[in-house]
Structure 1
Amino acid sequence: MPLRTSQELGWLSADVGVYAAPSVRVEYRPEFAKPMIHVAVSGRYDWAVRSRGRWQVVDRGPGSIAVALPGEFGHMRWRSTSDVPLRSLHVHLDPSAAGERPMAPAVGVRDPFLSAGVQALARALRAGGPAIYADSVAQTLAIHLAWGNRLPVPHREPRLSKQQVDRLTDYMQARLAENITVDDLAAIAGVSRFHFIRVFSASTGHTPYQYLRRLRMAAAAELLHHTTQPIVQIALACGYRSPGQFAAAFRREYGVSPTRHRGQAPDPRPRPGA
């Protein structure tokens, strides 16, 4: 959905616009007639594009740039990985400005010159800048894309937002006695099962199993110190089928048995994610 465009400004060498995007877009085939520079303005998302029969997935956030040519990208899709609304800047360039040398597509680029140019066009769009300025910048960008060198964006391990981790933690704590699956957690986080374990571990420093186990152990320690519930009930409440299984897990975590721990001072260690 367009939020602001250069359509009424009389620019000739570039069509520029700021657009709002849905948090999830299923696979579709983009159609555009001119080379496009796509800049992520707000939000963070996993952006997948299929070019020449191969899918490539890029973690994109504010400032991330992609260069697309008409017909080059077969299909694309995306999914937001944060709670921030997705906004993007689209810059469609006049291909004749680059002469006979074709521009090269790229899913992600790291290019200070290109970044400065699109930021200049974004400022001109907000201010309603004159065509002579916008066209000069756009022509320079087209030439640069045809002749300049671009470096691929360094790999960044995607991460869950704090809000996603908090939701997952609350979900686990409310269901410590249940059989929580990776599929359940991935659905809550809004990411695929394939990516979930990797992004969860990168975000928390623990695998989902390790994180859940530590939540269960922290809850068990609290119950041992502050209630008189039998150990078998505490074991069941924290997701363990038998006192023996619970005692073994508790000893690995705290170095003592549940019975001995019950008589000690409360453990000062914070819960995972605290």
Structure 2
Amino acid sequence: MPGADFMRERQAGWGMPPAAALLDLPSTGTSVIRWSRHRTGAFKMRPLLSDHTIVSLNLRPMRAEAWLGERQVWAGPIGSHAVRIVPPGVERRWATADPFDLLHVMLPPRAFQSMAGRGCGPFTLSDPLYGPDRLIRELGLQILGAMEEGGPYLTELADGLCRALVAHLLRRYHVPAPSSPPALPLARLRRVEALVRARLADELTVGDMAGAAGYSEFHFARLFRAATGRTPHRYLQEARITHACGLLKEGKAGVLAVALDCGFKDASHFSRVFRARMGTTPQAFRDGSA
């Protein structure tokens, strides 16, 4: 359930408090956050990870650059009421020099399960990538209007609008998974796992992992996910965090030494990823106060 730590992590990533927020709506568990900046000048959102599916509604035109992991997915103008759908479990960041006003509807897995049933999912949604969507615009503006007006039954009204949004996402953007996707053969998967264990401290890329498996990067990513249920990037990050937990429990090395030994560039990046995965800071985990 989102709380103080959830908001602190978001504020640290954005470098400012939100303009408005509704957290953990009753039936869907959705959090709605508005981020606004009225001045010009360079702005960079620090990399953030989330277990939520994020529906982003741009409330004013701007120019920006956006990344998912290391892949740049946008560079250019973004129109008013343009929509993005950001999947969970992917490190995201973006930058702009313009003023901005964004509404983020953050949907946990529970929001989809409450509608489609617990036996369904996980869901893959296509991303309109700053394209138009009339219904998302209308629902977003209604949620925003309710937040601005306040008053009784605000959370119930916003929650109902979020349920309508989930239904729309499943109807329009759900990408059905193939019935039996090909998976990475076990022997090749073991090769990749051995490479990851041996090179946790190195700047290991998906291309390196694909080379060990004997596939192109594109085919490897599909086969690896079918075999493990995770992207190569997520698997590598989880392996690094698992190794870091062992080193921190030993208590022989400081946080920076552990970060470098596990392939993170600095203690700050390590701390952000560790907290997103483990729900506490590396220092608190090391000291046993988590």
Same topology, TM > 0.5 = no
Q: Give the greater-gyration-radius structure (CA).
A: 1
Name the TM tier (shorter chain): 0.3 to 0.5
| Larger strand percent | 1
